[in-house]
Amino acid sequence: MSQTIGKTRLAYSRAWHHVSLASPSTPSLGRLASRIAVLLQGKHKPIWDPSTDCGDYVVATGCNDMLVTGKKKEQKLYYKQTTRPGALKSMNMESMMRKWGGGEVLKRAVRGMLPKNRLRDKRLDRLKVFEGEAHPYKTNLIKFGGRTRRIEPEVKTEVLKQMSI
């Protein structure tokens, strides 16, 4: 039997998912980043293979309202090195959100949860982050019955189960 059964062009088509961080039921940064990483890799699809890139697009809006627990905004540090001796720079999460916005914090969290291989940058390019609720990808989002379907955290596991059946 051939192993290519079911791996058609339709199976590899990329869907667009919308995640709103402004809703009150949104999980904290780490839990949300791991769920986004699963969608970007395509692990929710039955045709998933580690060596192929079959993931979907994810549009994250409302990144300025991101939820972090504890004192991470003041204590979590992000590092940057310019390869010169003594040039290690550090910045806490609060100042990074002020300078570059919450989208950069979300991208760094998702980047750390993706596999460290040649597909990581391509997968991360499919994550679109926006500070407010407005974004230019409204026509690309998944529609059911003429309405845009937002993937909320509680619904997300049910949607993943339905997709794998």
Give the span between the Cα atoms of 55 and 44, in whole angstroms: 9
Give the predicted TM-score (pTM) of the model.
0.81
C-beta contacts of 109-117 below 8 A and 24+ residues apart: 109/29, 109/30, 109/33, 110/33, 110/36, 110/37, 110/40, 112/33, 113/33, 113/34, 113/37, 114/37, 114/40, 114/41, 115/41, 115/50
Task: Give the pLDDT of the chain (165 residues) as one tens digit per residue.
Answer: 456 666 677 778 899 999 999 888 889 999 999 999 999 999 998 888 888 889 999 999 999 989 999 999 999 999 999 889 999 999 999 999 999 999 999 999 999 999 999 999 999 999 999 999 999 998 888 766 556 655 555 444 455 555 555
Cβ atoms of residues 92 and 51 within 8 Å: no
